[in-house]
Amino acid sequence: MRRNRYSIFSLARNAVSYHQDWSEAWRSPDPAASYDVIVAGGGGHGLATAYYLAAEHDVGRIAVLEKGWIGGGNTGRNTTIVRSNYLWDEAAHLYEKSLQLWEGLSQELNFNVMFSQRGVMNLGHTLQDMRDIYRRSNANRLNGIDSEILTPAEIKAKVPAMNVSSEARYPVLGASFQPRGGVARHDAVAWGFARAADARGVDIIQNCEVTGIRRENGAVCGVETTRGLIGARKVAVVVAGHASVLADMAELRFPVESHPLQALVSEPLKPVLDTVIMSNAVHGYVSQSDKGELVIGAGIDAYTGYGQRGSFSIIEGNVAAIVELFPVFSRVRMLRQWGGIVDVCPDACPIISKTPVKGLYFNCGWGTGGFKATPGSGWVFAHTVAQDEPHALNAAFDLERFTTGALIDEHGAAGVAH
C-alpha cells in the first residue's frame, strides 16, 4: 500500500530516469458500494480527518468524497497563517494542539508542507487594542503558549518597512508576537494529507458531490452522490461554506452563515517582510510567500453568499489600510484576487460535534481562520468519529453550546482578523 517514500535517495534515483517514473501521489479509485466511514469534503480538514482516522484509529474502510478536486476549495484559497494565540482556554488548547501537530507535520506525512515559523505579529493601534493584547498575551502564557509584547521600536527593528510613526493614520502602539506562529504551503497541506491518507488505504474520490444523506431509524446509513448511492456506517461532514447545505440534507438547522472572504497576492518582490503582520483594527493581514508575493487577506462581506467572490469595496478598504501601514507597498501591483466561502458561527468558534442523527458528525463553522487548525481539527474530529465521543479538546465545541449558552466568544478576543 505504501507508496515510494520521498527522500534525497528517491530524488536521486528518479533523476536518473529523468523524473519519468514518479508514482502517482494518490490513487483515483471508483467508489465501493459501502464504507465504514465516509468523510464528506476533501479539503484540508476532511483529508486530515481521514488521515488520522486511518493512522490512529481502527474504523475499517474509509473514503473521502470531494465534489471538485483536491486543493481546489478553501485550502487553496486562504492566506495560510498559522498561530495559536487565542484568548479563551478552550480555543487556545485546540489551536495549540494544532500548532504542535504542524511542527512535526512534514516528517509525519513525508511531504514538505513548508511550515515556516516566522512569527505572527498582531498590531495594536489604540489604547483599548493594547489592553486587549496584554490580556490575550497573558492568557496565552498561562496556557503555555509563547507570546511576547513588542514596543513600536522593537516592531520597527523587526519590520523596517512598517510605518510606526505617531503621525500615521493608524499609529502602531505595540503588538503581540507569537514566534512559533507562521505560514505553511496550503496546497502541500492538502496534497500531503491526501497522499498519506491514501497510503493508509483511504479511498479519495474526486468529482463526487454528496447530494443527500440517507437515514434509517434515526441513524445514518449512506450518502447519495453524483456517482451513485454509497453506504456508510458513519458520515463525517467537513464542507466549510456548504455546512448548512449538508445539514439541510439531514433536516438539521445550524447556527452558521456563509460569507464571501477575499484575498489577493502581488507580483513577486525581493524579500521585504519576514514575518506575518495582522491588524484587527484595520482588518488586514499580510505576509510574503516564498515566491516573493505579498499575500494579503481582507475581511468578509457582511451579506451571506456562496458565490466565491466578494465586493470590491472590501478589497479597497483592506488595501488602503495595508498601504498606510507599509507606504513602500503603494506601487506594488496586485496579480490575483479571489474569494472563498466561509461558514461563520455566532461565537467565531467551530462546531466539531455529534448530531441528533446517529452516526452523523459535523465539523464546521471555522469561519475565516480554519487553515491554521487543519491538523488539529482532523485529529480531534477523527477521535470524535471513531469513539462516537468528543475528545477533551473539542468537547466544548459541540452543537449543544448554542442551547446551553456556553459559547466560546472569540469575536474581538482573537477572532476578528485571522
Partner 1 sequence: MLQIECPWCGARDQQEFQYGGEAHIVRPESPDTLTDEQWADYLFNRANSKGVHAEQWCHTAGCRRWFNVLRDTVSYAVLAVYRPGERPSGSVE
Measured over the CA atoms of residue 326, residue 327, residue 331 and residue 337, the dihedral's sign is positive
**Which region, judged by CB under 8 A, interacts with partner 1, from 110-118, 176-184, 206-214, 298-306?**
298-306
The backbone torsions φ and ψ at residue 359, rounded to the nearest 5 degrees and listed phi first, read: 85, 5
Helix 186-199 × helix 374-387 angle, to 10°: 30
Q: How far is CA 55 from the centre of its chain?
A: 21
Whose CA is closest to 341, among 313, 370, 318, 312? 370
Shortest Å, Cβ 301 to partner 1:
8
Q: Which is nearer to partner 1, 90 or 293 (CB)?
A: 90
3-state SS, one letter per residue, for 373-389: HHHHHHHHHHHHHHHCC
**Which region, judged by CB under 8 A, interacts with partner 1, from 19-27, 35-43, 217-225, 249-257?**
249-257
Q: How far is CA 47 from the centre of its chain?
A: 12
Q: Is 86 in the site for partner 1 (CB under 8 A)?
A: no
Q: Is 402 in the site for partner 1 (CB under 8 A)?
A: yes
216 - beta bridge partners?
219
**Which region, judged by CB under 8 A, interacts with partner 1, from 38-46, 75-83, 299-307, 325-333?**
299-307
Q: Is 262 in the site for partner 1 (CB under 8 A)?
A: no
List 19, 313, 331, 333, residue binding partner 1 (CB under 8 A) = 313
Q: Which is nearer to partner 1, 248 or 274 (CB)?
A: 248
Q: How far apart are the first and last CA of the chain?
A: 38
List 1, 12, 16, 302, residue binding partner 1 (CB under 8 A) = 302
Angle, CA 415 vertex, CA 236 and CA 344 arms, to 5°: 45
Whose CA is closest to 155, among 182, 126, 124? 124
Q: Is 398 in the site for partner 1 (CB under 8 A)?
A: no
User: Rounded to an integer, what distance in angstroms lies between the CA atom of residue 300 and that of residue 286?
Assistant: 16
Q: Which is nearer to partner 1, 175 or 264 (CB)?
A: 264
Shortest Å, Cβ 313 to partner 1:
5
List 307, 330, 388, 406, residue binding partner 1 (CB under 8 A) = 307
String marking each residue 318-347 x if it binds partner 1 according to CB under 8 A: -------------------------x--x-
Shortest Å, Cβ 328 to partner 1:
29
Q: Is 212 in the site for partner 1 (CB under 8 A)?
A: no
DSSP β-ladder status, 174-178 and 62-65: unpaired
Shortest Å, Cβ 171 to partner 1:
27
Contact 159, 179 (CB under 8 A): no
**Which region, judged by CB under 8 A, interacts with partner 1, from 206-214, 280-288, 308-316, 375-383?**
308-316
Q: Is 311 in the site for partner 1 (CB under 8 A)?
A: yes
Q: Is 244 in the site for partner 1 (CB under 8 A)?
A: yes
State the burial class of residue 317 (Cβ atoms within 10 Å of its Cβ: 0-12, 13-18, 19+): middle
- Per CB under 8 A, residues contacting partner 1 are 242, 244-245, 253-258, 302-307, 309, 311-313, 343, 346, 402-404
